[in-house]
Structure 1
Amino acid sequence: MRTSIIRHSLYATTLMFVFAATPLGQVMAQDAGAHMQQSSENRTVPDKAADAWITTKVKSEFGTTKGIPATDISVSTHDGVVTLSGTVASEAQKDHAERVAQLVKGVKSVDSSGLTVGTAPPPEK
Protein backbone atom coordinates (compact mmCIF):
# COMPACT_ATOMS: atom_id res chain seq x y z
CA MET A 1 0.00 0.00 0.00
CA ARG A 2 2.79 2.39 0.97
CA THR A 3 4.67 1.59 -2.31
CA SER A 4 1.51 2.40 -4.27
CA ILE A 5 1.26 5.85 -2.66
CA ILE A 6 4.91 6.60 -3.42
CA ARG A 7 4.50 5.43 -7.01
CA HIS A 8 1.43 7.65 -7.50
CA SER A 9 3.28 10.59 -5.98
CA LEU A 10 6.16 10.08 -8.41
CA TYR A 11 3.78 9.91 -11.37
CA ALA A 12 2.03 13.08 -10.24
CA THR A 13 5.36 14.89 -9.79
CA THR A 14 6.55 13.79 -13.23
CA LEU A 15 3.33 14.96 -14.86
CA MET A 16 3.61 18.29 -13.08
CA PHE A 17 7.11 18.83 -14.48
CA VAL A 18 6.04 17.81 -17.99
CA PHE A 19 3.11 20.23 -18.00
CA ALA A 20 5.25 22.99 -16.51
CA ALA A 21 7.88 22.51 -19.22
CA THR A 22 5.39 22.76 -22.10
CA PRO A 23 4.87 26.55 -21.91
CA LEU A 24 8.65 26.99 -21.59
CA GLY A 25 9.09 25.07 -24.85
CA GLN A 26 6.54 27.32 -26.56
CA VAL A 27 8.33 30.43 -25.37
CA MET A 28 11.64 29.08 -26.65
CA ALA A 29 10.06 28.27 -30.03
CA GLN A 30 8.65 31.80 -30.30
CA ASP A 31 12.04 33.22 -29.41
CA ALA A 32 13.69 31.07 -32.07
CA GLY A 33 11.12 32.30 -34.63
CA ALA A 34 11.95 35.90 -33.79
CA HIS A 35 15.65 35.23 -34.37
CA MET A 36 14.88 33.70 -37.79
CA GLN A 37 13.56 37.09 -38.98
CA GLN A 38 17.00 38.57 -39.47
CA SER A 39 18.22 40.87 -42.20
CA SER A 40 19.71 39.21 -45.28
CA GLU A 41 23.28 40.17 -44.37
CA ASN A 42 22.94 38.12 -41.17
CA ARG A 43 21.55 35.02 -42.87
CA THR A 44 21.98 31.79 -41.02
CA VAL A 45 22.98 28.44 -42.47
CA PRO A 46 19.37 27.14 -42.33
CA ASP A 47 18.24 30.16 -44.42
CA LYS A 48 20.89 29.44 -47.03
CA ALA A 49 20.01 25.75 -46.96
CA ALA A 50 16.34 26.60 -47.54
CA ASP A 51 17.29 28.73 -50.55
CA ALA A 52 19.47 25.93 -51.92
CA TRP A 53 16.60 23.47 -51.45
CA ILE A 54 14.19 25.80 -53.28
CA THR A 55 16.65 26.24 -56.17
CA THR A 56 17.11 22.47 -56.45
CA LYS A 57 13.37 21.83 -56.29
CA VAL A 58 12.61 24.45 -58.97
CA LYS A 59 15.27 22.97 -61.27
CA SER A 60 13.86 19.51 -60.65
CA GLU A 61 10.33 20.68 -61.46
CA PHE A 62 11.59 22.28 -64.68
CA GLY A 63 13.34 19.04 -65.63
CA THR A 64 10.17 17.00 -65.21
CA THR A 65 7.67 19.49 -66.65
CA LYS A 66 6.87 19.16 -70.34
CA GLY A 67 7.28 22.34 -72.35
CA ILE A 68 9.99 23.96 -70.21
CA PRO A 69 13.54 23.99 -71.61
CA ALA A 70 15.17 23.21 -68.24
CA THR A 71 18.74 23.32 -69.55
CA ASP A 72 18.24 26.85 -70.92
CA ILE A 73 16.95 28.37 -67.67
CA SER A 74 19.21 29.30 -64.76
CA VAL A 75 17.68 29.41 -61.29
CA SER A 76 18.91 31.19 -58.17
CA THR A 77 17.19 31.87 -54.87
CA HIS A 78 17.76 34.50 -52.20
CA ASP A 79 15.47 34.80 -49.16
CA GLY A 80 12.80 32.73 -50.92
CA VAL A 81 12.79 34.94 -54.05
CA VAL A 82 13.50 32.83 -57.12
CA THR A 83 15.29 34.52 -60.02
CA LEU A 84 15.04 32.95 -63.47
CA SER A 85 17.39 33.82 -66.31
CA GLY A 86 18.15 32.42 -69.73
CA THR A 87 16.31 32.08 -73.01
CA VAL A 88 12.95 30.51 -73.82
CA ALA A 89 11.22 30.11 -77.17
CA SER A 90 8.00 31.96 -76.37
CA GLU A 91 6.19 34.18 -73.92
CA ALA A 92 4.00 31.15 -73.08
CA GLN A 93 7.10 29.15 -72.02
CA LYS A 94 8.24 32.07 -69.88
CA ASP A 95 4.82 32.29 -68.19
CA HIS A 96 4.72 28.52 -67.70
CA ALA A 97 8.19 28.46 -66.10
CA GLU A 98 7.18 31.30 -63.78
CA ARG A 99 3.99 29.46 -62.70
CA VAL A 100 5.85 26.18 -62.08
CA ALA A 101 8.48 27.97 -59.96
CA GLN A 102 5.81 29.82 -57.96
CA LEU A 103 4.16 26.52 -56.98
CA VAL A 104 7.29 25.22 -55.22
CA LYS A 105 6.93 25.24 -51.44
CA GLY A 106 8.86 28.09 -49.81
CA VAL A 107 8.90 30.36 -52.86
CA LYS A 108 7.86 33.88 -51.85
CA SER A 109 8.00 35.36 -55.35
CA VAL A 110 9.49 34.77 -58.80
CA ASP A 111 11.54 37.30 -60.77
CA SER A 112 11.58 36.27 -64.42
CA SER A 113 12.90 39.58 -65.77
CA GLY A 114 16.16 37.84 -66.72
CA LEU A 115 14.29 35.32 -68.88
CA THR A 116 14.38 36.49 -72.49
CA VAL A 117 12.16 35.28 -75.30
CA GLY A 118 14.18 34.31 -78.34
CA THR A 119 15.37 31.38 -80.31
CA ALA A 120 15.82 28.50 -77.93
CA PRO A 121 16.22 24.85 -78.81
CA PRO A 122 13.03 22.77 -78.67
CA PRO A 123 12.09 21.63 -75.15
CA GLU A 124 13.39 18.31 -73.90
CA LYS A 125 10.98 15.39 -73.96
Structure 2
Amino acid sequence: MNKPFNKFVIAAATAGALLSPLAFADVANSHSAPLMMAATTDTAEEAVTDTWITSKVKSTFVADSALSALDIKVETNKGVVSLSGVVKSDAERDLAVAKTKGIKGVKAVSADGLKSAE
Protein backbone atom coordinates (compact mmCIF):
# COMPACT_ATOMS: atom_id res chain seq x y z
CA MET A 1 0.00 0.00 0.00
CA ASN A 2 1.20 3.47 -0.67
CA LYS A 3 1.47 6.16 1.99
CA PRO A 4 -1.33 8.49 0.72
CA PHE A 5 -3.80 5.60 0.79
CA ASN A 6 -2.78 4.70 4.36
CA LYS A 7 -3.30 8.30 5.47
CA PHE A 8 -6.72 8.32 3.79
CA VAL A 9 -7.72 5.13 5.65
CA ILE A 10 -6.53 6.57 8.96
CA ALA A 11 -8.34 9.85 8.30
CA ALA A 12 -11.54 7.97 7.43
CA ALA A 13 -11.29 5.86 10.60
CA THR A 14 -10.67 8.98 12.67
CA ALA A 15 -13.68 10.69 11.13
CA GLY A 16 -15.77 7.63 11.95
CA ALA A 17 -14.59 7.72 15.55
CA LEU A 18 -15.36 11.43 15.65
CA LEU A 19 -18.91 11.01 14.37
CA SER A 20 -19.86 7.89 16.37
CA PRO A 21 -20.48 9.65 19.69
CA LEU A 22 -22.47 12.34 17.91
CA ALA A 23 -24.83 9.74 16.45
CA PHE A 24 -25.99 8.85 19.97
CA ALA A 25 -26.05 12.39 21.36
CA ASP A 26 -29.55 13.15 20.00
CA VAL A 27 -30.99 10.03 21.65
CA ALA A 28 -29.74 11.10 25.06
CA ASN A 29 -31.03 14.64 24.64
CA SER A 30 -34.41 13.86 23.02
CA HIS A 31 -37.64 14.95 24.68
CA SER A 32 -38.87 11.36 24.89
CA ALA A 33 -35.84 10.26 26.91
CA PRO A 34 -36.21 10.28 30.70
CA LEU A 35 -34.86 13.34 32.46
CA MET A 36 -31.23 12.94 33.39
CA MET A 37 -29.41 14.39 36.35
CA ALA A 38 -27.39 17.51 35.48
CA ALA A 39 -24.12 15.93 36.64
CA THR A 40 -24.63 12.94 34.35
CA THR A 41 -25.39 15.19 31.38
CA ASP A 42 -22.34 17.34 32.06
CA THR A 43 -20.15 14.23 32.23
CA ALA A 44 -21.56 12.90 28.96
CA GLU A 45 -21.06 16.23 27.19
CA GLU A 46 -17.51 16.44 28.54
CA ALA A 47 -16.72 12.93 27.26
CA VAL A 48 -17.99 13.81 23.79
CA THR A 49 -15.96 17.01 23.85
CA ASP A 50 -12.80 15.17 24.90
CA THR A 51 -13.43 12.52 22.27
CA TRP A 52 -13.97 15.20 19.63
CA ILE A 53 -10.75 16.99 20.61
CA THR A 54 -8.75 13.75 20.51
CA SER A 55 -10.15 12.85 17.08
CA LYS A 56 -9.54 16.35 15.74
CA VAL A 57 -5.91 16.34 16.96
CA LYS A 58 -5.28 12.91 15.44
CA SER A 59 -6.84 13.85 12.10
CA THR A 60 -4.81 17.08 12.06
CA PHE A 61 -1.65 15.04 12.58
CA VAL A 62 -2.61 12.63 9.77
CA ALA A 63 -3.20 15.52 7.39
CA ASP A 64 0.27 16.97 8.03
CA SER A 65 3.04 15.05 6.24
CA ALA A 66 5.65 16.58 8.57
CA LEU A 67 4.21 14.63 11.53
CA SER A 68 4.54 10.93 12.34
CA ALA A 69 0.85 10.61 13.15
CA LEU A 70 0.98 6.90 13.95
CA ASP A 71 3.82 7.40 16.44
CA ILE A 72 2.02 10.02 18.54
CA LYS A 73 -0.52 8.92 21.15
CA VAL A 74 -3.19 11.50 22.00
CA GLU A 75 -5.31 11.52 25.16
CA THR A 76 -7.69 14.25 26.30
CA ASN A 77 -9.10 14.82 29.77
CA LYS A 78 -11.31 17.87 30.44
CA GLY A 79 -9.76 19.72 27.50
CA VAL A 80 -6.16 19.01 28.53
CA VAL A 81 -4.39 17.07 25.75
CA SER A 82 -1.50 14.74 26.60
CA LEU A 83 0.85 13.75 23.79
CA SER A 84 3.18 10.77 24.10
CA GLY A 85 5.35 8.61 21.89
CA VAL A 86 8.53 9.11 19.91
CA VAL A 87 9.01 11.62 17.09
CA LYS A 88 11.96 12.10 14.75
CA SER A 89 13.08 15.52 15.99
CA ASP A 90 12.49 18.37 18.41
CA ALA A 91 11.04 20.35 15.50
CA GLU A 92 8.41 17.64 14.94
CA ARG A 93 7.62 17.64 18.67
CA ASP A 94 7.20 21.43 18.61
CA LEU A 95 4.98 21.20 15.51
CA ALA A 96 2.75 18.59 17.17
CA VAL A 97 2.35 20.81 20.24
CA ALA A 98 1.60 23.89 18.10
CA LYS A 99 -0.98 22.03 15.98
CA THR A 100 -2.64 20.70 19.14
CA LYS A 101 -2.85 24.15 20.75
CA GLY A 102 -4.64 25.38 17.62
CA ILE A 103 -7.56 22.96 18.06
CA LYS A 104 -10.81 24.46 19.36
CA GLY A 105 -11.55 23.39 22.93
CA VAL A 106 -7.95 22.58 23.90
CA LYS A 107 -7.25 24.19 27.27
CA ALA A 108 -3.65 23.00 27.68
CA VAL A 109 -1.14 20.62 26.10
CA SER A 110 1.21 18.30 27.97
CA ALA A 111 3.97 16.87 25.80
CA ASP A 112 6.14 15.46 28.61
CA GLY A 113 5.62 11.96 27.19
CA LEU A 114 6.52 12.98 23.63
CA LYS A 115 10.21 12.21 23.16
CA SER A 116 12.52 13.11 20.31
CA ALA A 117 14.65 10.37 18.72
CA GLU A 118 17.49 12.91 18.18
The interval holding the TM-score normalised by the smaller chain is 0.5 to 0.7
Pair 1:115 & 2:114 matched:
yes
Find the aligned partners of 2:96 and 2:65 in 1 and give their Cα distance: 10
The number of residue pairs the alignment matches comes to 80
Find the aligned partners of 1:63 and 1:76 in 2 and give their Cα distance: 16
Find the aligned partners of 2:61 and 2:44 in 1 and give their Cα distance: 26
Pair 1:55 & 2:54 matched:
yes
Q: Give the aligned partner of residue 4 of structure 1.
A: none
Q: Give the aligned partner of residue 78 of structure 1.
A: 77
Find the aligned partners of 1:102 and 1:108 in 2 and give their Cα distance: 8
Gapped regions of structure 1 (runs ≥ 5):
1-34, 120-125
Find the aligned partners of 1:72 and 1:44 in 2 and give their Cα distance: 30
Superposition deviation, residue 66 in structure 1:
2.3
Superposition deviation, residue 65 in structure 1:
1.1
Superposition deviation, residue 68 in structure 1:
0.5
Please provide the CA RMSD for this pair: 1.8
Superposition deviation, residue 110 in structure 1:
0.5
Q: Give the aligned partner of residue 3 of structure 1.
A: none
Q: Give the aligned partner of residue 88 of structure 1.
A: 87
**Structure 2 length as normaliser, TM-score?**
0.64
**Structure 1 length as normaliser, TM-score?**
0.60
Q: Percent identity?
A: 42
Find the aligned partners of 1:58 and 1:88 in 2 and give their Cα distance: 16
Deviating beyond 4 angstroms after TM superposition, the runs of 4 or more aligned structure 1 residues are: none
Structure showing greater Rg: 1
Pair 1:100 & 2:73 matched:
no
